[in-house]
Every structure is written in C-alpha cells, then in structure tokens.
Structure 1
Amino acid sequence: MKRQFPQPSLLALALAAAFGPAVAAGQVIETETVEVVGNTPLAGLGVPKLHVPANVQSISSQQLEEQESLNLPEAMLRQLPSVNVNEIQGNPYQADVNYRGFTASPLLGTAQGLSVYLDGVRINEPFGDTVNWDLLPHSAIAGIDLVPGSNPVFGLNTLGGALAIRTKSGFSNPGSKIEVSGGSFGRRNLELEHGGSAGSLGWYLAADWFKEDGWRDYSKSEAKQLFGKLSHKSATGEADLTLTRAVTKMTGNGLLPESMYATRRDQIFTHPDQTRNDLTQLALSGRLWLNDTQSLSGNIYHRRSKTRTLNGDMNDDFEDGTYDGISNQESGANNRTRTTQQGSGLSGQWNLNTARQQLTVGASLDYAKMKFQQTQELGVVDATRGISEVGAETEQNALHGSTRTASLFVTDTYSLLPNLHLTGSARYNMSRVTTFDELNRTAPNLDGDHSYKKLNPAVGLSWQVVPALNAYAGFSQGNRVPTPIELGCADPANPCTLPNSMAADPYLKQVVARTLEAGLRGKLSADIGWNAGVYRTLSTDDILFVGTSTSAGYFTNFGKTQRQGLELGLNGRQRSIDWFANYSYLHATFQSGACLLAENNSSRGTAAECTASGQDDEIYVKKGDRLPGLPTHSLKLGLSWKATDWLRLGGDVQAFSGQYARGNENNQHQAGTYTDAFGNTRTFDGAGKTAGYAILNLNAEARLGAGWQLFAKVNNVFDKRYATAAALAENPFNSAGAFQNDSGDWRRETFVAPGAPRAAWVGMRYVFGGL
C-alpha cells in the first residue's frame, strides 16, 4: 500500500499558516529528489538528510569546481556556515579550520576537535590528531558532508563535528580532464583526471601538482598528489581499492608582530619554517548485499606518513642567558623534527534498510605506531632573520609510541510515524596510548602507558511538520583521548618547544563533549530553501595548550568550555542565478576558572587568585571569558549567474567580526604600561585582538566548445588588509627588523596572521570523454 501522511495537526496547520500559502495544509508541493547523507564513516545505505536530527551541510564536486577553490579549507570557508580559518602558518594548505569553535589543524599544539574521514578511513594523524590538508587530492573529491555535533558513530575526536570526504570513481566520473592555471604569487597548478569503466570494472586516476613562491618572503611551497581507484560493481555488491600518494614541501612562516606588519605585510618573523610530508595510503572497502534489505560494509587500510620539519626560531634560553646584552651569539636555533607514523585498521558493519528503519551495527579496530626525534642547532639570528652560524646538532627528544582503539557502535533511524523519525546511536571506545623514551631512561621521562574507556550515546527526532517544514532536535556525546604529543608535553615545570619538543608526561584526562541541537528547515517556495538552528556543546576536561613563551608551553586539562550559537541559512535558484546567504553567531567561552601562564598579557601578575602562589606571569581566566581565535559573527554570501549558455559569472563574500588573541584568554589585555602586584612595571603593545573584516572574491568560467573551458578568479578584490588570527608574544626585533642583543629592549606585542592581498589566477581546462 502507498504510505500516506496523516492529516495535519492543529499545530502543523498553525505553522503552515505562519510560513505562508506555500505550505498551507492540503496544498500539493512538487517533490524533489531525496538527498541522502552517510550515517557512518563507512559506506552504508545512508539516511535521507531531512531524517537526520542535525544541520548537516554538503558540498558537491560541481560546487568545488565552480568556486575554483584551491583546496578543501578554502571551499569550506567560502560556502559552509560556522566555518572560519586561522592562517597561523601563513600557508593556504596549512590553515586551522574551525567549525562551531572546534578545530581541525595541521599544527601540533592546536586543540583538535573535528574528525576527518576519507572514504571511511580516519585521517587524523595519531601523534597529535592533526589533519594535513596538503595530503588530500583535491581534484578527486566527489563531495563532502559536514556532520555537526558530537556524533558518537564517527568515533574519537568528534567533539564538534565530523567531516566525511567522498572520492570519485570510474563509474561516477567517466572521461578525462586536463587543467592548467597560474597567476599571482608565482602559483602554478596542474590537474589531470581520467575515469572509465568496462562491465563490472571501473577505474579512476587523479594527479595534482601545485607550486608557488608565496606572497610573503621565503615562502615557496610545492605539493604533488596522486589518487587512484579500482572499482568493482555488480548486483551483489561493490568494492573499491584506493591508493593515495602525496609528497609535499610546505613553508609556513607564521605570525608577524603588528609593528612589522604595519611596515611591510609580506615580511616574515624568522625563517626557515618548512614542513615536508610524505604519505602512502592503501585502502580496500566494499559492500555486499545479503538481500533486498540487508548488506555488509567494511574496509581495511594501511597508512604510512613521514613528516620532517625545520623551524628557525628564537632561542628561548637567550633571554637572561650568557650573551644577553652582549652579542647575538646563540640568539637563534634551528629546531628539526622527524616523525614516522604507521597506522592500520579494519572496520565492518551490518546494515538493515526497511520501509521504517535504517539500522547499522558495527565494530572497528585501529592501531598506529610512531617514532619521533627532535634535534636542535644553536646559531645566530642574521640580518634576514634566518638562522646562520649554526653549531653542533644536539638531540632533544627521541621516543616511540603506539595508539590502539577498539570500538563497537550502533545507529538506528526508525520511523515512528511516516513523518516522525527517531534516531538513536551509541559507541563504546576502548583506547590505549603508550610512549617509550629512547633518550632518557630515568624517571621522570616520556615513558607512559594510559588506557581510556567511554560509552557515548546520541538520540534525536526529526518531524516533517508539513511537506515544506521540518523540525529537528537531538543530543549527542563524543570523546577524544590525549595523544602522545599531549601526554609528552603536560608538565608545567618542563615546557615544550613546539612543534614537538617534549618533557615528562603527567596523566591527562580524556575530553568529553555533549551537544544539544535543535532547528527548523524548509522551503519558502519550490526554489528557495531556508534553515534556522541553535546548538550548545559543553566540553569537560578540554585539553588546551598554555604558552610559556613565543614558542614554548605545555598541555593541560581545563575544567569546562562551552560553544553555543545560532545558524541561519537561505539559498535559492531564480532562472539563471544560484545564490546563498549564511549567518552564524558563536558564543565560545570558558566555563571554569583557572590560572594560566600568559607572560605577554598586560594583566599578568595582577589577579589575586594567581599571585597568592607567587606567580607574576599568570592571568586568571574566569567563567564567561571568550575563547581566543573565534569570531562571534560571520556572514557568507554567494552568487553564481549563468549569463549565457557558455558564460558563468560568480562571486562570494566572507565577513567576520574580530577575535581575541591567544594569550588573551581572560580578554583583559590592553596596550600601555602597567605595574603588577609585585611592583614590576612593563609596557605592552597592541590590543590583544583582531579587527573584523570582509572580503570579496570573484570567479568566472567560459565554455569555448569542443571540451575547452577558460576560467579565472580574483581573491580579495579590494585588497583588504586583515588578520585571521593573533597571539601575544615578545618581539626581539626593532622597527627595522634588526635583532636587539639586550632583551630589556624587546617589546611585548600582538602578533597577527596576515591575510593574503589581492590576487588573480587564470586557467584552461580541456574535458573529453564525459567528465
């Protein structure tokens, strides 16, 4: 029998009247293709998007191509609500991506809170839960789903959300493509794609090459990425064998003091700052149909990565040291690291899909081992602010370790009524993190063996009030366990030189996040959709990195933090124009009081809660203080106009309010001269926060016929000077950029992450055979 919606209730009729005649009771609305999103990292049967009790956001491969985004962080920044980036490294492939106040970052030391999956394989690196955006094959991406909240089914690190990335195949993307582009900053791109199928066999290959000089001094970068997929598809099942290979050399020159930024925004603080990544990942995934309603899904993978860094930094021991006030000898240091990580895992699930239910039960096992080494070469900071006259290399740290996580999970979406859907989920995680100090065998050292267990639940409802109005509400809980880098740098008495130097490893608690979310979504007309939602996530025992100097600090558990906010969205299509408008409000705060080290904050040594212990370099962070690095307001506008059959013009705007600098967690830093409770008088420069900004980007595409396409884009059209992040630190250079031998002349300043100036690129694309 054909399923019918029940007669609308009085509440439904009232809501229908409130939203206009388009949703009046009894009016027939033309139905659209049902949009399905994944309910687990593995490929299952999926769940209709409107049945999910959360504001899931998606980007298709067509949207990625139309916006001509360089990579995934840029695409998410431009299109998805509640996403902002902190360009701490100053490299387009090394951005911190923030979603609802939680971060996925390639930078060790950043509190990670988003899980990222590529075709069901978790790509958060085991050593620090970091995400290396430069290793993702951009041209091979078929689409992404950004799943909000602390959804337990997506496993560890899903505190604020999960990003599920899907890749193309020969069945879905047959044909070939060659694309070349170039322009500002000496940037050159080459992309090659080929896909096809014969009977039950499909194949797909993508190769990307990126190289640029960078817009700042000493900022050359290069990335080579290869992705291949062999597919089998039949009536009984399907399987994919994928290979991801990437070799990159990224330069991230980091933050710049405001005084130097005002003089010339394209200069850098110190150099070199290089990260070399080498990745090989092999994965086999598949799905077997047992009958019309049941299937089995699974995958197995092996992932090997090698990361080498070279950072030219200030020598933290120079101040008050032997040469302070005498010469610049031993003023700088080359810090080198080498990290090798090997991870393997398997997961499987049973899927049931009936007219009223989508049930999945599964299990996973992931094991990773890593080896880490760090060395240092003392030298001098020369006239270019590079490190020269380096001395002998000394070993700072050497260890190996492992992480192991076993999980059981279940998720079920059940139709209580044809228009009312209940979703319940749970995941039980069992993790063990071990480290072995190869350099120091005397306690306290880096030896550690820590185990963690957690059962995380989720429940939610989705109600199709009337055909054009959907309401949802849900609760979810997720957790993440401390990583080896955090456990190895958790002693305030032995701060670490980031990115990787480590000391003793006191126990850290696992982070637990609980999210409440509710909202409405629907249609104002056949071509205009909207959504409005609110959320609140409370994290317990959040792991934060507390800075003790420009480049050193330690990890610690911090009571509670809270992220809550509002999301409003509107999108539509009128004839030849597609458009969207997204507004986000984020209120991210500390929910506990604590003393944190912040020696470059003007309020240091003034809080009675901290000075009682004799500390003059701490600030007091109280409940309600804003988390740094996160704008309160964000607005995103986008438009794509098909001017003719062969010409498309587009543009987008991103606008963000200001944010507090790291080191200003108490939100009290101000420029000026201040005296602390111990009688010490110091001068501080900068406001300790960034200003709000808005930038406009334009893009265009012309189809010239016979498979040829010409495209162009201009970023930051009005050449806006802006900063995406900031931190409080000490500047040892004068206004001319020369090193000052006497640390008494150093200035405590606000350092900023400069946004890129106006830039333009043009390219040609040749498509043939169906792509």
Structure 2
Amino acid sequence: MTPWRLQPLAQPIVLSLAFAGAAGAADTAPGVVETATVQVVGTTPLAGVGVPAAQVPAAVQSVSGARIADSGALHLGEFMARQLPGVNINETQGNPLQPDLNYRGFAASPLLGTPQGLSVFVDGVRVNEPFGDTVNWDLLPRSAIAGVDLVPGSNPAFGLNTLGGALAVRTKSGDTHPGTRVEAAGGSFGRRKAAFEHGGSDAQGLAWYLAAESFREDGWRDFSPSRASQLFGKLSRKSDLVDLDLSLTHASTRLTGNGLLPQSMYRAERDSIFTHPDRTQNELTQLALTGRWWLGDADSLTTTVYHRRTRTRTLNGDANDEFEDGPFDGVSDEESGALNRTRMKQSGSGLAAQWNLARGKHQLALGASFDVASARFMQSSQLGRLNASRGVSVEDEEEEDNEVVGRTRTASLYLTDTVALTPDLALTAAARYNVSRVKMRDQLDFVAPNLDGDHRFQKLNPALGLTWQAAPALNLYAGASQGTRVPTPIELGCADPANPCTLPNAMAADPPLKQVVARTLEAGARGRLAGIDWNAGVFRTVNRDDILFVGTSTSAGYFTNFGRTQRQGIELGLSRAQGAFDWRVNYSYLHATFRSSACLLAENNSSRGLDPACTAGGQDDEIRVKKGNRIPGLPAHSLKLALSWRAAPGLRLGADVQAFSGQYARGNENNRHRAGTSTDAFGNVRSFARGGRLPGYALLNLNGELDLGKGWQLFGRVDNVFDKRYASAAALAENPFDAAGAFQSDSGDWRRETFVAPGAPRAFWLGLRYAFGK
C-alpha cells in the first residue's frame, strides 16, 4: 500500500465511509422479503432481444441517464471516472472536455498518439473517428443520454477496436422522456452553461425529442478559454410492426488544452501553462436512421444507416524541436518556437442489419455491417520566437508539411447466441469476421518513397462464456473472448523512429504495422445478500502486436508494434438503494505490464544509454523495456465511493470520492528513471530533475438538488472540496525555460524533468432548473 500515500487520502475516504455506514444502517424491516429486479442488457451495438444480466458472462455495467445527471458530472467520461470501477482519467489535454479515459488499462481518447482500445457507440453508430480511432467526448450529446452500458473484454460482437471493452450510449426519445425542461448554471473558472430539453408524443405513435446545450468557461489556467455547443433531435414513429428513429446530431466546439506543465513551473505557479496557443476546433454533423421490424412475437430485424462528418482544426504553439543543435542554439532565441497547424475533414457512412431471434432456449443475433470512411489531413508549421508569455510570435511564412488522404473500408459478419442449457446454466457463443482495407495517398509527394499505402487486414474473432445461477443469491460467470484493432492512417503514416511525427502529426514513408490482437479471460461472481448487491471478478487481457506511441520530445514521436502487453486485475463492488439512501463502493486493482523486451527511444530517461542490448549500435538515447515493467499512465489501485441521500422531501445531497494510487510517467516505460546525475555507457554525463513516478491522490466532491416547488429546482456542485494539489498524468521531457519562465537560448542550460497534467483546484457551481407543467 506504499504508493497510496495514505495520509492525504485519509480525510475524504474516512468521511465518505462514515456516510456509507450511516446509509447501511437503514436495513430492511424484519419479515420483508426483497425480490431481485431482472436487468436486461444489450450485447450487440444494435438493439436486439436483450439478455438478462445474469446470463452475460462478463461484468457489464449499466447506468441510467438520471444517475449521470444526479452526479453533476460535466460529461460522460467524468462520471465514469468518478463512479465506475476500473475507470480513470488522464487529463493530458488540460481541458475538462478532452479527457483520456482508461478502462482496465485501455484508452478512449481525443488525442492522436494515444493507443486506442475502447469502441464507443451512440445508438448503434460507432463514433471512434476513422483517422486515429480517437473519441471526441465534447461531441457526445450529454443532455440527450438516456443510459449507457459498459461492456468489458474483447467482445467480438462490437467489432474493431474492442480490445478492453465497448461503451454503448442510448439517447432519449419523446415517448420515454416527455416534457420541457430548461436549466442554467454558473460558477468557478467563469463557467456558465445553459440547456434545453423537450419531448412529446401523440396517440398515433409519433414522438419527438430535442435537446440543446451551450457551455462556456475562461478556464482555471492561463490562456484557457473554451466553448461548446450541442444540438440533438430525434423523430420517432412506432407501430405494432415497425419502430423508426431518425436522429440528427450537431456539435461545434472550440477548446483550449494547454497540456502538460514542468513540475518546477507547476510548483511555482499552479495555473501556469508551458506554451500557447493550444486550440482544437471540432464540428460534427451526423444523421442516423434506425429501424426495427417485428417479424413475429420474438423475431425482429434491426437496421441502422448513418452518415457522419467531422471537421477538426488545431493550432499549437510549441517549442521548436529543431532548435537544439541548430544555427541559433547558444546565439539567440530566433526560431525558438513554432506554430503547428492541422486541418482535417473526416466523413463516414455505414449500414448495419441484425436479425434477432428469441425462441426456446436460444437468444440469437445474426448481423452484418459495412462501413466506409475518408479523411483528408493537412499539416503546416510556421517558425517564430517564444515571447515573454511563452506564446509564439511568428516570423517565417507558413509551410505545408503534409497533406494526405486516407480511406478505410470494413465489412463484418457476426453471430452471438445465448443458450439456456438448463434453467440455471447458460452458454454464450459469439464470433465476428472482419475484413478491412486502409488506403493512403500522398497529396504533396507523388514519387516513392512517400505516404502512399494500401493495407489489408482480416480476422475471425471468437468468444465463449458460461453463467451459472448456483443459488438464488449467487451467480457465477466465466468467459474468453478475442478482439482486434487495425492500424489507422495516422499510425501507418507515423511509424518510423528516424522520422518522428509532430502531433497531431507530420508523417513520413514508414514501415507497415500489424493489427493488434487482444485475448481476454474473465471470471467472477455476483449476487444480492441482505439487500446489498455485490460483485467480485478477475480479468486478464493479453495484447499481441500492441501499437504504442513512443515519445521523442514533448510534441513528437512515432508508432511501433510492441510484442505483447498484459492487463490483469481484480474488481470488487457493493451497492444498495433503499429508502432515502443510495450508496456504492467499488475497488479495482490493475496490473498492466509489458510482456516482451525491446529498446525504445527515451531521451529524457536517466537510464538511457546504459543497457548493452541498446547501445551496441552506438545509440545513447534508448532504454531497455523488459518483461514485467509497468505500463505508464495507469494507477494500480482505485477506490470509488458514492452516496446519494434524500435528506428531506425535495432535498437530495450527494458525495463521491475517487482515490488512485501512483503511476509511472510516459517515457519511463522501463520504470528505472531516477532524479540526479547519470553517466551513460559512452561517458556522457546528464542531470535529471524529478523522478519518473506520480504520487497517488484522493478527491472529495459534493452535489445536491433542492426542489423549490412548481417545477423549479436548485442544484449545485463542489469539486475537490479540500483543494488538493494533484496530477493525473505525467511525461519525461526537456524544459527550455528558466525558473522565471524565460526561454534559454543555450540548450546546454535546459533541464530534463517530469511534466505533469495538473488537476483543477476547488470549484463551485450553482444552477437553476425549471420543468414546465409541474
């Protein structure tokens, strides 16, 4: 338990345990018999027959939209990190709407360069962007979320990128969420938010729903304003034989993510930034039509057709990676900075159909899908000087570095069947066959070697699992599954260590990459005892040919296949909802390690150039990663506590705690980096500030609602109640600024140190909500 650093964790944990103890004191009255609710969950991206949770051989987590709203979380990823086991966030971007979300050690991130391992669906439409499988959390229609299912493991039914799990989001409809509601809120960091919802239906089966939301904030760090606007509409038609849903999603965001900060600068000024500007503009328009035809009492056909268009622009002010050993090194600050711009247009269309059959002992789904996507990516740079505020004052003309068009095409066929072998024993078998093609065409250089490429991938992925209702209060499950992820255009175009990319990226003619294959084993038990729902499970996922991003500086690096990696762990949970109290306790342990050995570039690691296996070719900037080394960015322990208390009629008070153990910094993949002076095998002496590991932290957050009557409701939220200083991610890099934040023109004076993603200080928000007709 050493990495927990128990003293800073004790105060919020003890307080929340006291809350949970008080809630648990309200036991069921003697003689009252509780009956369990049968929960039905989806096991495919498209709506199907639905399988009772007790027959799913995995620890599926289902959450209602009401519970997400009650938490006060700003977005879905934040809620998951606060309350769902196995989930944590790395705030690498430094923006509340751009989290790197990790589940069981697999990421769903908006950042190009993060190895993606989770697939995300909204009403059956996959929203991982085609160019890098990234997930833009700022584009999800938060107000319109009716519920989510987090499906763990390498479930092949959810298709590509389902290495560690899949997240299926369901949106609201006018018949399920009628009425009109408006709300407005504001508070710390200049944050203000307004939202509108309206839903309704008529006797002829027509239903309509509309949600709109606007978000603005100045940010708590310097130069950090952001804005986001979302619009979601759905028109539904339901009859005895056919259900149709036509939905439109539009979102426009302009986010500032100032990213990592050297620890020395963070300690001196908590709200400072490294360099600026760092802006990302996203615009999404998506149209989807979903239909379900009833072919019989237990026989239906579900289809989805969609078209999705995303435009992204980034503007990043960075230190110039080419300044060191350049013509101005040690002379002046000329060309010390660079503005890196990207423009990307992505579009995707797809068709999926699924036949659902529930007959006798079988609950079967047979489906097929076909998806095509294209992306045009342009990247340019403009050299300049880093000024007194660490912004970039441009001096040279903008130069286009890369322009590439990438196209992907995937066809899939899948089958899943849950068979009741006996009334208490169920077998689930599934398989999916994927055929993918990724093509790239260089728009600047038409002569090889260039970015042109044509890559084909195919794989059959199976899954098998058993569930056993051993007793009325005990359900056992076990399963094995396999999933794959094909390399994306960004990875295929940035895979040469001799030509690292400046992310979002600058690409070169690179060696091909293999598709990632993940195999998961999972087993556990769940049930209800004395009115308390409990679960306990173990899992192991082994990735073969995992695609990793190897950083060569604060803003550059390359992708490479890395032998094997493994993520295994334990998940434990308790929850109860009775009377005025609803409480949850979740603990998870994650042991994420490399299972192969390799030499990786790590210029800012103190152990660089020390291992004979990596210095044989004269290299002094590589480290040896060995079997058993921990994967950076992933805390081993996490504890989540949540309490909701109906203190009085119309008054609800809530609290939640998240506690995470320490983690290794990116660049410390061999776990050997230490602060101090190091001499490599060639006699080079270097100094390194700070260690390569972040300490653990714990946060207490409060939320509540007060019913004012006549449709009015007051709600509020307090984050980081004890104003803890913490960081959720780190990387080893070089700091060219002195203690006062001024650029040092002699690179010999630069400091190698740990950069961190600082967490937000204590913050307050208050809002008012009105429901018409109440």
Common fold: TM-score over 0.5: yes
Q: Residues 461-513 of structure 1: CA distance to partner in whole angstroms, max 9, x if unpaired?
A: 01111111100000000000000000000111111111121111311000000
State the match for 2:742 in structure 1: 738
State the match for 1:397 in structure 2: 402
State the match for 1:164 in structure 2: 168
State the match for 1:515 in structure 2: 520
State the match for 1:264 in structure 2: 269
Give matches, 1:176-195, under 5 Å.
176-195=180-199
Q: Is the 8 A contact 2:243 2:292 kept in 1?
A: yes
- Measured in 1, the distance between the counterparts of 2:343 and 2:230 equals 21
- Measured in 2, the distance between the counterparts of 1:466 and 1:322 equals 76
Q: Residues 648-701 of structure 1: CA distance to partner in whole angstroms, max 9, x if unpaired?
A: 111000000000000000000000001000000000011111100000000110
Q: Residues 237-267 of structure 1: CA distance to partner in whole angstroms, max 9, x if unpaired?
A: 2010000000000100000000000001100
State the match for 1:75 in structure 2: 79
Instruction: Answer yes or no: is 1:724 the counterpart of 2:733.
Output: no
State the match for 1:19 in structure 2: none
Tell me by how many angstroms 1:29 deviates: 5.8
Q: Is the 8 A contact 2:68 2:79 kept in 1?
A: yes
- Measured in 1, the distance between the counterparts of 2:122 and 2:690 equals 41
State the match for 1:705 in structure 2: 709
Instruction: Answer yes or no: is 1:212 the counterpart of 2:231.
Output: no
State the match for 1:33 in structure 2: 37
Q: Residues 289-319 of structure 1: CA distance to partner in whole angstroms, max 9, x if unpaired?
A: 0011210001000000000000001111100
Q: In structure 1, which of residues 141, 148, 152 is the aligned counterpart of residue 145 of structure 2?
A: 141
Instruction: Answer yes or no: is 1:276 the counterpart of 2:281.
Output: yes
* Structure 2 portions without partners, runs of 5+: 1-26
- Measured in 2, the distance between the counterparts of 1:114 and 1:672 equals 38
- Measured in 1, the distance between the counterparts of 2:331 and 2:494 equals 33
Q: Is the 8 A contact 1:589 1:627 kept in 2?
A: yes
- Measured in 2, the distance between the counterparts of 1:425 and 1:626 equals 32
Give matches, 1:496-645, under 5 Å.
496-525=501-530, 527-645=531-649
Tell me by how many angstroms 1:354 deviates: 2.3
- Measured in 2, the distance between the counterparts of 1:497 and 1:360 equals 44
Instruction: Answer yes or no: is 1:339 the counterpart of 2:344.
Output: yes
- Measured in 2, the distance between the counterparts of 1:466 and 1:489 equals 54
Match for 1:569: what amino acid?
Answer: G
Instruction: Answer yes or no: is 1:128 the counterpart of 2:109.
Output: no
- Measured in 1, the distance between the counterparts of 2:773 and 2:461 equals 48
Name the SS of the counterpart of 1:643 in structure 2: strand
Greater CA deviation, 692-701 or 435-444?
A: 435-444
Q: Is the 8 A contact 1:657 1:691 kept in 2?
A: yes
Instruction: Answer yes or no: is 1:383 the counterpart of 2:388.
Output: yes
Q: Is the 8 A contact 1:447 1:505 kept in 2?
A: no
Instruction: Answer yes or no: is 1:313 the counterpart of 2:315.
Output: no
Tell me by how many angstroms 1:31 deviates: 2.7
Name the SS of the counterpart of 1:290 in structure 2: strand
State the match for 1:299 in structure 2: 304
Give matches, 1:382-461, under 5 Å.
382-461=387-466
- Measured in 2, the distance between the counterparts of 1:738 and 1:33 equals 62
- Measured in 2, the distance between the counterparts of 1:317 and 1:65 equals 47
State the match for 1:245 in structure 2: 250
State the match for 2:11 in structure 1: none
Tell me by how many angstroms 1:455 deviates: 0.2
* Structure 1 portions without partners, runs of 5+: 1-21
RMSD: 1.1
Tell me by how many angstroms 1:374 deviates: 0.5
Q: Residues 28-77 of structure 1: CA distance to partner in whole angstroms, max 9, x if unpaired?
A: 96433311111110011111111100000121111111111110111101
- Measured in 2, the distance between the counterparts of 1:750 and 1:542 equals 25
Over the matched positions of the two proteins, sequence identity in percent amounts to: 69
- Measured in 1, the distance between the counterparts of 2:186 and 2:555 equals 35
Tell me by how many angstroms 1:355 deviates: 4.3
Match for 1:256: what amino acid?
Answer: L
Match for 2:342: what amino acid?
Answer: T
- Measured in 1, the distance between the counterparts of 2:33 and 2:522 equals 28
Greater CA deviation, 625-634 or 605-614?
A: 605-614
Match for 2:59: what amino acid?
Answer: N
- Measured in 1, the distance between the counterparts of 2:260 and 2:761 equals 16
- Measured in 1, the distance between the counterparts of 2:525 and 2:645 equals 28
How many residues in Structure 1 have an aligned counterpart in Structure 2? 744
State the match for 2:121 in structure 1: 117
Instruction: Answer yes or no: is 1:363 the counterpart of 2:368.
Output: yes
- Measured in 1, the distance between the counterparts of 2:258 and 2:654 equals 32
State the match for 1:52 in structure 2: 56
Name the SS of the counterpart of 2:82 in structure 1: helix
Match for 2:125: what amino acid?
Answer: V
Q: In structure 2, which of residues 463, 474, 477 is the aligned counterpart of residue 472 of structure 1?
A: 477
Instruction: Answer yes or no: is 1:750 the counterpart of 2:751.
Output: no
Q: Residues 174-223 of structure 1: CA distance to partner in whole angstroms, max 9, x if unpaired?
A: 00110100000000000100000012100000001000000000000000
Q: Residues 344-396 of structure 1: CA distance to partner in whole angstroms, max 9, x if unpaired?
A: 00000111012421100010000001101001110000000000033101010
Q: Is the 8 A contact 1:448 1:505 kept in 2?
A: no
Tell me by how many angstroms 1:763 deviates: 0.2
Match for 2:493: what amino acid?
Answer: G
State the match for 1:288 in structure 2: 293
Q: Is the 8 A contact 2:218 2:225 kept in 1?
A: yes
Tell me by how many angstroms 1:573 deviates: 2.6
- Measured in 2, the distance between the counterparts of 1:730 and 1:165 equals 40
Q: Is the 8 A contact 1:174 1:769 kept in 2?
A: no
Report the TM-score when normalising by structure 2: 0.95
Q: Is the 8 A contact 1:67 1:699 kept in 2?
A: yes
Report the TM-score when normalising by structure 1: 0.96
Match for 2:583: what amino acid?
Answer: W
- Measured in 1, the distance between the counterparts of 2:245 and 2:472 equals 37
Instruction: Answer yes or no: is 1:374 the counterpart of 2:410.
Output: no
